[in-house]
Structure 1
Amino acid sequence: MNRTYVDVHILQTVPPSNLNRDDAGSPKQAIYGGVRRARVSSQAWKRATRLAFSDRLNLPTEQLGIRTKRIGQQLTDRITIRTGLDPQAARRLADAMLAGLGLTASKKKAEESAYLLFYGRAQLDRLVDLVADNADDLVALADEPLTKATAELGVQQVLTEGHPIDVALFGRMVADLTALNVDAATQVAHAVSTHEASFEFDYFTAVDDAKDRETEDAGAGMIGTVEFTSATLYRFATVGMHQLIENLDGRVDAAVDALAAFLEAFVYSMPTGHANTFAHHTLPNLVSVVVRGDQPVNLVSAFENPVRLPSPYASETRPRDGIAAESARRLDAELAKAARLWGVTPLLATSLYDQQAVPEPAALGPVQPFADIVAAVRDTVTARITENVPA
């Protein structure tokens, strides 16, 4: 099968916000190009993307994955509902089924696993299928015969097949049970600002509404601070379609559908840190999707020299514009340079951006609505993948 990568480049300006905070409550940051940048971790944006699958795309919950330490309780609940066993008996059966996997138990809570396990809700239902017809007979067995009987059911096999799209996209790592590992088809970079960022504190007070202003002091009922920044962020992700197809048991149509779902979820998603405080819900300034047959190319080097205004690239005939516009021009130039100097030429580049900032023709490709971008990517990817797939 042809190796095929789908790179997603996004420029997005966010107002004062704290999308992703560190252990001290400060917005995460990084040094890049010798200056401090605002940063949003890949973990934060991957979670926002996973939530968008159900919140925005309305994909059925049962077709998605869940990441939890409580697989035992999750399986127990399903066994109880399906078989009518009492919860204690259902928990005993669930524990016996999972015992064969060899998952390490939490030191604090024996009923939980030691780490988060990412699996499909539908996979749990298929585990229940293994015992639904003879659950009464199984729970009647003593502990040792029950463990032996459930060990022969193929529990591990169920968890290695039929992955939901979020597990197929983002993968799964189980340190002490490598047979359950799923290589991620998607890599997501930490978002960084294209420019040097400043970090500030908002001093706020909260008023006690029940305080009598005539007889009591006029002081605030609460005083606090929250740190924030604002930035134009460069976001990057890449999807290896060959790996995604493998993770979805060779189903090409399912993989292309998963890619389309990822594109929409990733583009429209937004981490929710301090969302009630800052209402930082913006749309991207630029979205560019590049299909490649050679390797993924992160274009963050366009911003190693941080964007500064007024722009040294601005001509006398073009009015001074903002950081987002200059960042778009830098990104277009970097994409062209990668093809010119390194020979990594895209199979397709299609984008949505302000044409006043980057006049066509541009390396970023034709400007079109996002729905048309997704359709063009689907067609290109499908044609490439099926080139050498037997009919």
Structure 2
Amino acid sequence: MKTKVRIDLHILQTVPPANLNRDDQGNPKEAIYGGVRRSRVSSQAWKRATRMQFADQIPAEDLGTRTRRVAGELAKRLKACTTLDDEQAARIGSALLAPVGISAGKKAGATAYLLFVGNGQLDAIVDLVAGRATELAAFDDAALAEEMRALPIAEQFRENHPLDVALFGRMVADIPALNVDAAVQVAHALSTHATEAEFDYFTAVDDTNEDDDPGAGMIGSIGFNSATLYRYATIGLNQLHHNLGETDAVLDAVDAFVDSFTRSMPTGYGNSFAHRTLPSLVAVVVREDQPVNLVSAFEKPITAPQGGIAERSARALATEQQRSVELWGDKPAHTAFAHAFGKDTEAELAKAFGTSVTFTALREGLRAQLQGYLA
């Protein structure tokens, strides 16, 4: 692929009272933007929610695991496919990581940092020794280490990346050869309007209280707010193609991300607020220049004397997209949007984002557009 291609995803989503992503005080995260306080959900929180959403549509063997217990995961797989006992499997699992140079952690069997590895990659490493597991278990430490150095273990970490590692990347500071550049960038979600923190004071009744002891069994409070959030992410098609290689795998990864990022929701205090909603607007823009976050549409906070915050936010987003195209002359290669607004707002959105379609049709149209680049 010679053309640099970016897929921008713009989402508006209204969330009722909730605490999606808390700070160190347990309250919803916030940020000052445009001179006012906004509700904020960190990019890390929504990326994890997206990864969890993948599990609903993608087999586990095609996904990754983020863990410090890589040696333990290898041992578990070894034990499942051989006759090794726990101690033997743990010893070989640790030995498999030694040639790679991954720093050991303070706890036995743990690495010094979280590693994002593919389940398929772990299986491939186990396959290197499974047929000789009983023989290897009888070796002393020096002989076992020598055998491990002769195996292409590091290569397994550098090849056949799972979908989520290819999308979100992997950073191993002390072993640059294991790094995978992320194909996706995710912005912190911000409310399109000013918000204020609120607090839910609650009590819990002890069901066994006697009549002469009517007090609460527990008293507490939870911080919350409600907001219409602007969510933005961008996918680098060239980097994703580099990470995955195969055209079908790239197209499947883009589709899985668009679907899962759109439908996902961080789960903080989910039982307390039942806050899960779906977006009211999803717009996709394929660009051949650079990614463009349209958050400047909300630098002046949206107010809602009539019509509601979400609809006014959608109109502001459409205006900002048109302004960007007119000012910079960077006409997108492909646009489409799905929405839940009325006809007047749809007309405004259509001026900026092209054709109004269902979410399924939006994904199908994007796949067809990208197929042309990858061909």
Distance 1:229 1:86 in 2: 52
Task: Give 2:174's aligned amino acid.
Answer: D
**Alignment match, 2:62:** 63
Q: Does the CA contact (< 8 Å) of 2:6 and 2:290 recur in 1?
A: yes
Distance 2:175 2:52 in 1: 27
Distance 1:356 1:195 in 2: 22
Q: Which runs of 4+ in 1 moved over 3 A?
A: none
Task: Give 2:258's aligned amino acid.
Answer: L
Residue 289 of structure 1: which of 284, 290, 299 is its match?
284
Residue 352 of structure 2: which of 363, 370, 375 is its match?
363
Distance 1:363 1:269 in 2: 25
**Alignment match, 1:5:** 6
**Alignment match, 2:139:** 141
Could you give the per-residue CA deviations for residues 168-222 of structure 1, whole angstroms, max 9, x where no partner exists? 0000001111111000000000000001111111101111111122xx2322111
Q: Does the CA contact (< 8 Å) of 1:328 and 1:358 recur in 2?
A: no
Q: Does residue 17 of the first structure (1) align with residue 6 of the second (2)? A: no
Could you give the per-residue CA deviations for residues 275-312 of structure 1, whole angstroms, max 9, x where no partner exists? 000000111011001111111110001011111232xx
Q: Does the CA contact (< 8 Å) of 2:19 and 2:269 recur in 1?
A: yes
Q: Does residue 303 of the first structure (1) align with residue 304 of the second (2)? A: no
Distance 2:149 2:352 in 1: 56
Distance 2:207 2:91 in 1: 53
**Alignment match, 1:224:** 220
Shift of 1:20: 0.2
Shift of 1:263: 0.6
Task: Give 1:5's aligned amino acid.
Answer: R
Task: Give the share of equivalent positions with the same residue, in percent.
Answer: 54
Shift of 1:141: 1.9
**Alignment match, 1:339:** 325
Q: Does the CA contact (< 8 Å) of 2:83 and 2:134 recur in 1?
A: no
Task: Give 1:346's aligned amino acid.
Answer: P
Counting only pairs closer than 5 Å after superposition, residues 307-326 of structure 1 correspond to structure 2 as 307-310=302-305, 320-326=306-312
**Alignment match, 1:352:** 338
Q: Does residue 27 of the first structure (1) align with residue 23 of the second (2)? A: no
Distance 2:213 2:89 in 1: 60
**Alignment match, 1:377:** 366
**Alignment match, 1:99:** 98
Task: Give 1:247's aligned amino acid.
Answer: N
Shift of 1:137: 2.1
Could you give the per-residue CA deviations for residues 127-167 of structure 1, whole angstroms, max 9, x where no partner exists? 01101122222222221121111111110000111111001
Shift of 1:382: 1.0
**Alignment match, 1:314:** none
**Alignment match, 2:39:** 38
Distance 2:77 2:209 in 1: 51
Distance 1:385 1:7 in 2: 17
Distance 2:250 2:369 in 1: 13
Shift of 1:385: 2.4
Shift of 1:224: 0.5
Task: Give 2:95's aligned amino acid.
Answer: A
Distance 1:274 1:81 in 2: 36
Q: Does residue 233 of the first structure (1) align with residue 229 of the second (2)? A: yes
Q: Does the CA contact (< 8 Å) of 2:346 and 2:356 recur in 1?
A: no
Q: Does the CA contact (< 8 Å) of 1:4 and 1:385 recur in 2?
A: no
Distance 1:287 1:323 in 2: 16
Distance 1:341 1:143 in 2: 67
Distance 1:83 1:217 in 2: 60
Distance 1:217 1:236 in 2: 52
Task: Give 1:233's aligned amino acid.
Answer: L
Distance 1:86 1:206 in 2: 48
- After superposing the two structures, state which structure 1 stretch, 288-297 or 370-379, moved more: 288-297
Distance 1:334 1:323 in 2: 16
Q: Does the CA contact (< 8 Å) of 1:16 and 1:230 recur in 2?
A: yes
**Aligned alpha-carbon RMSD (Å):** 1.1
Instruction: Identify unmatched segments of 5+ residues in structure 2.
Output: none
**Alignment match, 1:187:** 185
- After superposing the two structures, state which structure 1 stretch, 377-386 or 23-32, moved more: 377-386
SS in 1 for 2:102: coil
TM-score (norm 2): 0.97
